[in-house]
Amino acid sequence: MLFLLSPSKKIVSKKQINVNSTMPFFLDKSLVLIKEMQKKSIREISHLMKISNNLAELNYVRYRDWDIKNNNYLTEAFFSFNGSVYNCLDVDSLELEDLEWAQKHFFILSGLYGILRPLDLISPYRLEMGVGIEVNSDRNLYDFWRNDIVNYLNSYKKENTFCSIVNLASNEYFKVIDSKLLQFNVIHCAFENLVKEKWKIIGVNAKRARGFMSRYVIQNKIDNIDMLKKFNLDGYIFDDSVSTDNNLVFRNFSKKTN
């Protein structure tokens, strides 16, 4: 089983010294995007990304100074991202053998890097997959990355023994994958809370659940769907009555949201 995650908007720099770091696969294409973003003003970045001027200025400087060869600015992807998913994954408390296992079983979809392994070194950035940036003949980042990512995953499948991908990424990021060309069985996971007597997906809760599930998967070396269904952290348990083979629903029976 392979597992897909989204990145987070927040990034921190805390390079690890005891892991075997790797480099992203599509750095040449990342550089194309960096050069495109370097053409833009602070105001244009603010408008394009719908962020404040302060955040736009921060990312303007990041694009201007981007240097993937300068180790002082690089951090492994798993240790870089700092959002709800990664806080609940709590990568800092994982053992080295856990990280080595995750390196072979997890991928992070990225607007700037295309696809990342957990220990790929990255420079701080902000470029969400849904940002409407045109690059040459590509209308957006989905067009820019679609073929490369699906070909990469299919090649990875041929080199290994994986048959299924578990999607723990957001819709914004998973849309970059052309499912018709993907040579994997795809399993989606939904995390629902009871809201006014109706089961719904609450964004912030779902992000936390994806992080907890990622941690559960890594620590227990989950490699089949039956083991995945046993996930039961943060109040979520598998509900067979509303699940299908390719859509696993986990419901939180311990918390009600008004």
pTM: 0.94
DSSP-derived letter for residue 138 is: B
Relative to beta strand 247-257, strand 185-195 is parallel
* Residue 233, SS3 per DSSP: coil
Task: Estimate to the nearest angstrom the gap between the alpha carbon of 71 and the chain centroid.
Answer: 22
Which of 218, 212, 215, 165 is closest to 191 using CA atoms? 212
The enclosing H or E element of 61 equals helix 53-65
Which of 124, 126, 106, 129 is closest to 116 using CA atoms? 106
Please give the chain's pLDDT, 258 residues, in tens: 999 999 999 888 776 767 899 999 999 999 999 999 999 999 999 999 999 999 999 999 999 988 877 666 789 999 999 999 999 999 999 999 999 999 999 999 999 999 999 999 999 999 999 999 999 899 999 999 999 999 999 999 988 888 899 999 999 999 999 999 999 999 999 999 999 889 999 999 999 999 999 999 999 999 999 999 999 999 999 999 999 999 999 999 886 665
Sketch the domain layout of the chain as residue ranges: 2-257
Which of 31, 8, 2, 34 is closest to 165 using CA atoms? 2
